[in-house]
């Protein structure tokens, strides 16, 4: 006598699970980085998470970007307000960064996926 019942997932079996197919649009322009810090917690990006970053994408208002400001890397929300570019933290404990011409700013890509580690 069988124990249990057939899995409803049996009809959806795939040969292989390929995370590149799921997470990467441009393989040559995509890389991953590990998050350190809590400045983006309200965007559900936590310390220790892994970000998938696409350097081929131009940032648009509201995107989350990996950026270096004067040599220091950070992840923030890219916002255009009137004639200003502002990098916003998603944690009220951190101030917005208003970009000026006196800063060395290099955008290293747009975050396309967050891999949140549970265990």
Please list the active-site residues.
39, 76
Q: How far apart are the first and last CA of the chain?
A: 37
Residue from 79, 93, 82 nearest 37 by CA: 93
Q: How do 105-115 and 72-81 pair as beta strands?
A: unpaired
Taking the C-alpha atoms of residue 116 and residue 109, their distance in angstroms, rounded to an integer, is: 19
């Amino acid at each position: 006598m069988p124990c249990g019942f057939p899995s409803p997932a049996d009809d959806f079996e795939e040969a292989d699970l390929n995370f590149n197919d799921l997470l990467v649009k441009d393989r040559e322009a995509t890389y991953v980085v590990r998050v350190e810090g809590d400045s983006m917690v309200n965007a559900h990006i936590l310390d220790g998470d892994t970000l998938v970053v696409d350097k081929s994408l131009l940032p648009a208002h509201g995107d989350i970007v990996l950026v270096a400001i004067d040599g220091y890397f950070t992840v923030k929300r890219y916002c255009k307000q009137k004639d200003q570019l502002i990098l916003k933290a998603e944690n009220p404990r951190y101030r917005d960064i208003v970009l000026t011409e006196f800063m060395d700013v290099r955008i290293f890509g747009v975050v396309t996926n967050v891999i949140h580690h549970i265990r």
